A and B are shown apart, each in its own frame.
Chain A
Amino acid sequence: MLYSLVNYFIGFWRRMLRLVFDSNALITCCQAAPRHGSAIESLLAVSTLSVPAAVAQEVLAAYARYSDASLANRLISTDRIKVNPVNLSTDTVLEGYRLGSGEKECIAFCLEHAAQVDFWVTDDRLAYVVGRRCGIPALLFLDLMIELTQCKLWAQELAMEVVQSVKHRFSGGFVPHTLSVLRSGDRRCLKL
């Protein structure tokens, strides 16, 4: 009985996505407001979320002025979002890119703790490209919505509401494409 109970919880824990967020994606997530609740609370129900120290420092510097940063700060201060210290030397290939400390620390952390990270979530084009070049499983926030529905962790309706609520942050085809994939359940779908 105890054995099966333990196995059940281990199974549930294993199903949870282990995500690392940079500031850009954290801002998107904290601004996302589906009809019921908040996107980040819904995300924390099905995943473990961590940020590197540089991202947490930015939250700390901004939370008094902005409600979305205040939400992030509350989750960090209650340890629901974990903060990872990162030792990043200044003589890495990352110095050749115009990245911020938070993005560089995300990359360094994901490389150092690859076995503990399912995805690095970023909404920055350069950071995404550099992360992929380093072999990190990087996801755009919108692709995280697709991943959550395909893993059956989120209902399609919730993912669509979240995407709609942050559509002002994306240009061009990103939002219609995401909604099309969410509707069809097929990443290869080109139909609007």
Chain B
Amino acid sequence: MPQVIEAMAVHPEVKDFSDKLLREAVSNPSPMLVDLVRRGFEQKLTELYVLFRQGECSLGYLAEQMGTTSWEAVRLLEARGWHTTNL
């Protein structure tokens, strides 16, 4: 029997950024689309963070891939208690 997947707990910073990105593309997104974009944003950030910590991508690259600036990327990482440098 299919289970209802509860909306994932989303960091406020992620909500801000993913919602901003979504609304740049779609004027009135459905709740499901909002949820999907938030999950995608969180997933992509996690994948890039792994590369970043391994020294395989820079902070600038991570920021550009997320559609943010380095300053915003640092806040996204700080919000999770993650390292903000790969040193």
Do A125 and B72 contact each other (CB < 8 Å), given the known contacts A24-B59, A98-B51, A100-B58? no
Bound CA–CA A97/B70 (angstroms)? 17
Contacts of A58 in B (CB 8 A): 63, 69-71
Contacts of A103 in B (CB 8 A): 58, 60-61
Interface residues of chain B: helix, strand, loop or mixed (majority): helix
Bound CA–CA A38/B70 (angstroms)? 21
Instruction: Determine whether the beta carbon of B56 is less than 8 Å from that of A171.
Output: no
Bound CA–CA A25/B59 (angstroms)? 11
Q: Is B11 an interface residue (CB 8 A)?
A: no
Instruction: Determine whether the beta carbon of A66 is less than 8 Å from that of B75.
Output: yes
Contacts of B69 in A (CB 8 A): 23, 58, 61-62
Q: Is A84 an interface residue (CB 8 A)?
A: no
Do A98 and B57 contact each other (CB < 8 Å), given the known contacts A23-B70, A58-B70, A69-B71? yes
Instruction: Determine whether the beta carbon of A23 is less than 8 Å from that of B60.
Output: yes
Q: Is B34 an interface residue (CB 8 A)?
A: no
Instruction: Determine whether the beta carbon of B87 is less than 8 Å from that of A59.
Output: no
Bound CA–CA A100/B66 (angstroms)? 11
Interface residues of chain A: helix, strand, loop or mixed (majority): helix
In the complex, per-residue mask of A96-120: 1 if CB is within 8 Å of any chain B CB, else 0: 0111111100000000000000000
Instruction: Determine whether the beta carbon of A100 is less than 8 Å from that of B61.
Output: yes
Closest to A57 in B: B69
Bound CA–CA A129/B85 (angstroms)? 14
Contacts of A68 in B (CB 8 A): 71
Q: Is B43 an interface residue (CB 8 A)?
A: no
Closest CB pairs A-B (n = 4)? A100-B60, A98-B57, A23-B70, A62-B71
Assuming A99-B60, A100-B60, what are 14 further A-B pairs, CB within 8 angstroms? A22-B60, A23-B60, A23-B63, A24-B70, A27-B70, A27-B84, A58-B71, A97-B58, A98-B57, A100-B58, A100-B64, A124-B58, A126-B56, A127-B58
- Measured CB to CB, the residues of A under 8 A from B are 22-24, 27-28, 58-59, 61-62, 65-66, 68-69, 97-103, 123-127, 129, 140, 169-171, 174
